Amino acid sequence: MWAAVPASGGPREGMLETKPQVDVAGKRLLINAVTRADGCVHAELVGTDGEVITGFERDACQAFSGDVKCAPMAWKGGEVCPCDGVQLRLILKRARLYGFAWG
């Protein structure tokens, strides 16, 4: 088990970025996270060219807040990853991330 707590209490945001993800095309991103009442988690997908994928930007993400072990993330671009090789960028504010999976 691991936990990311880069921004669990203060007003500043923390960010995590993964290595390129394989075998994720067509799968949903599920997170295990908890936020404070005024906290949230956003996610964006970065393509192999290093640019954020259109429709999967932070601003297009439906922010997560609460305490859920298997919360699906969604964007205006859809609910499933559009391609393999993406990097996942998670932005946390007053939140703890305990894990994520593609399913």
| Interior/surface letters 63-95, b for 16+ CB within 10 angstroms, e for the rest | ebbeeeeebebbbebeeebbeeebbbbbbbbbb
Q: How many domains does the chain have?
A: 1
Average pLDDT, the chain: 93
Is residue 43's pLDDT more than 80?
yes
Is residue 98's pLDDT more than 70?
yes
Is residue 1's pLDDT more than 60?
no
Assigned domain for 1 exists: no
Is residue 69's pLDDT more than 70?
yes
Residue 77 and residue 36: Cα distance in Å, rounded?
A: 27
Domain containing residue 54: 16-98
Q: What is the CA radius of gyration of the chain?
A: 13
Instruction: Give the pLDDT confidence score for residue 3 in this predicted structure.
Output: 58
Assigned domain for 53 exists: yes
Assigned domain for 103 exists: no
Instruction: Give the pLDDT confidence score for residue 9 in this predicted structure.
Output: 65
pTM: 0.90
Assigned domain for 75 exists: yes
Residue 39 and residue 56: Cα distance in Å, rounded?
A: 20
Average confidence (pLDDT) over 37-58:
97
